[in-house]
Amino acid sequence: MTLVIDFPLRATVVDMPTDPLPLDRGRPEASRIADSATDAVVGNAFADGDEWALEEAYRRWGALIHTVARRATGNSHDADDVAQAVFVSAWRGRHRYSPDRAALPAWLLGITKRRIADHWDARSREQRRIEAAGHASEAMPQTEESVEQVADRVLIADELSRLDQPQRQIMELAFFDDLTHPQIAERLALPLGTVKSHIRRSLIRLRSRLEVDGVAV
């Protein structure tokens, strides 16, 4: 849609992205403008306490947080609790979030790591009670460092899933299936040089996206 606004002093012609966005699963207006907001706008609005930004933050990063929690705790039910605790405490503590210092997903991931640590603390207290009662202990809880590693793995897997084809398939064969570059070339019937240059470009892109999210790997 083109809107012409002729200011008193100077004509200005503007193309504005105001095409109506389709209704999305019954989620009304606030979500539809949020669709086009950049991550930085969502972060600023979150810090400012605008509620649409909380829902948008959940839409953008809820699955990431939940997956980190699920992979760290080993079960989906605990991950539900962790994800809920993360967003509730992030919203209540939003005055502590400074958009200038960290991207919102990075800040949320920091809270996620602490909530998972809390989860394991509660687990090990429970375990000590069981041991004190004379029962055999189960597996040791994971350390905080391995939560860090889980978060890195999930972030990378998330970014992989956003690559275009054939880069995505090539990187999945390299990372998920641990194939060598010649094996990938053979599997996909592509020249080895092509495979390598896709991998090179994908790695550069992966890292810059991880840096954009403010999450150092």
Contacts with other proteins in 39-98 (CB under 8 A)?
40-41, 43-45, 48-56, 58-59, 62-64, 66-67, 71, 80, 83-84, 87-88, 91-93
**Residue 149 Rama label (left phi>0; alpha psi -120 to 50; beta):** alpha
Q: Residue from 116, 154, 170, 215 that binds other proteins (CB under 8 A)? A: 154
Amino acid identity of residue 55, one-letter, is E
- Residue 166, preceding bond cis, omega within 30 degrees? yes
101 binds other proteins (CB under 8 A): no
Contact by Cβ (8 Å): 173, 184: yes
Q: 121 to 150, contacts with other proteins by CB under 8 A?
A: 149
**∠126-138-117 over CA atoms, to 5°?**
55
Pairwise CA distance, residues 132 & 196, whole Å: 56
Distance of closest approach, residue 69 Cβ to other proteins, in angstroms: 10
Q: 15 to 34, contacts with other proteins by CB under 8 A?
A: 16-18, 20, 23, 25-34
6 binds other proteins (CB under 8 A): yes
Nearer to other proteins, 9 or 189 (CB): 9
Taking only Cα atoms into account, the Rg of the chain, rounded to an integer number of angstroms, comes to: 22
Distance of closest approach, residue 127 Cβ to other proteins, in angstroms: 25
What string marks each residue from 162 to 201 as x (binds other proteins by CB under 8 A) or -?
---------xx-xxx-x-xx--------------x--xxx
Pairwise CA distance, residues 175 & 128, whole Å: 38
